[in-house]
Amino acid sequence: MALEDAKSQVDTAFTRAQQRGYSFENAFGGATSFLRRSYTKDLTGVDLAITGVPFDQAVTHRTGTRFGPRAIREASTLQPYDPPYGWPTNPLDELNIIDYGDVAFDYAKVSDFPETLTAHIRKILSAGAGSITLGGDHYITFPILRAYAEKFGPLGVIHFDAHSDLWPDDDLSRIDHGTMMYKAVKQGYVDPKRSVQIGIRTTTEDYLGVHVIDAREVHEKGVAHAVELAKSIVGDKPTYVTFDIDALDPAYAPGTGTPVWGGLHSWQAAAALRDLAGINMVGGDVVEVSPPYDTTGATAIAGAHVAYELICLYHWARTQR
């Protein structure tokens, strides 16, 4: 059946008859929506909207993450043929998932961007759907968290990263990917007592009460230790998962703006995300994929896998908890 479908399916981002089910379209052709889901702005009956934020004007070093959403979508064309490996359920068959496209914004009016993005996510949430966002630099998580906090109150956050993004900065007019978590905590969007950062390997003087499981602790004590601790920290309340691709070691994800050695291995990230099943995950993002710095495409492939695992976590929270 799959072979016959592959002979006839093309551009299923626009031609698929329903939101659920696999796509067997050739990976090397056709319109590259995420996982070949329907491109649509119609949120009626949607469980989960995948959306892109091609914004990189908040970086401290190398730009290029504006091309991240497009590259992640292209990499995801290898994945919509089969159920997700390691999961007993299949969100592609059991959830109405769409590709909501990218947020529209004026690149020359950077100061307008935060509210534009918050409104974009607010619209998805008000329709009763969740969101998985493809970045973009890590600043984008701050406006997203504002929309989520409006609906759910202060959130627990599981934050995979090499950097804490807790640089002190009380000027809300500054747009900086290294301060997004600081501002989210200070603005009350994030409950630091229910938040944990995994993979950290840069210095931060004050973590503002956020728990830290650095990369060395993951390497030495294992993924199971990190996951058990993370689950105990976030508990059963609404939790947001943000995954900076530089949580991975540059050997696995060289295409990022601020790479740091000593990071997580791909298998560690995959195992951690799968074993987080059971958290009350209400949304998530994968950020900092910068295709210009990786001619192999490996970083975008990693980003696509992370996004699929986030979909699985969201699905599990809706159906199995």
112 is known to lie in a ligand binding site: no
Residue 242 CB neighbour total at 10 angstroms: 28
CA distance 224 to 46: 33
Q: What's the confidence (pLDDT) of residue 17?
A: 85
- 8 Å CB contact between 148 and 187: no
Cross-strand partners of 21: none
Find the mean pLDDT for residues 205-218.
98
The string of DSSP codes covering 239-306 is EEEEEEGGGB-TTT---SSS--SS-B-HHHHHHHHHHTBTB-EEEEEEE---GGG-TT-HHHHHHHHH
Cross-strand partners of 286: 134, 243
Band of pLDDT at residue 7, cut at 50, 70 and 90: confident
99 is known to lie in a ligand binding site: no
Q: Which of 81, 134, 83 is nearest to 274 (CA)?
A: 83
Summarised one tens digit per residue, pLDDT across range 80-139 is: 999 999 999 899 999 999 999 999 999 999 999 999 999 999 999 999 999 999 999 999
| Domain encompassing residue 127 | 2-319
5 is known to lie in a ligand binding site: no
Summarised one tens digit per residue, pLDDT across range 16-63 is: 988 899 999 999 999 999 999 999 999 999 999 999 999 999 999 999
Residue 171 CB neighbour total at 10 angstroms: 9
244 is known to lie in a ligand binding site: yes
Question: What CATH number is attached to the domain comprising 72?
Answer: 3.40.800.10
Q: What's the confidence (pLDDT) of residue 240?
A: 98
* Range list of H helices, the chain: 2-8, 12-15, 68-75, 91-94, 113-126, 141-152, 180-186, 215-221, 223-234, 266-275, 298-319
What are the residues whose beta carbons fall under 8 Å from the beta carbon of 4, sequence distance 6 or more?
A: none
Q: What's the confidence (pLDDT) of residue 2?
A: 65
Q: Cα dist. 118→65, 172, 191, 311 in Å? A: 19, 15, 19, 21
3-state secondary structure of 226: helix
Q: Is the pLDDT of residue 278 over 60?
A: yes
165 is known to lie in a ligand binding site: yes
Find the mean pLDDT for residues 64-80.
97
Q: What's the confidence (pLDDT) of residue 76?
A: 98
Q: At what angle do helices 141-152 and 113-126 cross, to 10 degrees?
A: 40
Find the mean pLDDT for residues 251-268.
98
- The number of folded domains in the chain is 1
Q: What's the confidence (pLDDT) of residue 41?
A: 97
CA distance 263 to 246: 8
Q: Which of 112, 100, 113 is nearest to 55 (CA)?
A: 113
Summarised one tens digit per residue, pLDDT across range 306-319 is: 999 999 999 999 98
Share of the chain above pLDDT 70, in %: 98
219 is known to lie in a ligand binding site: no
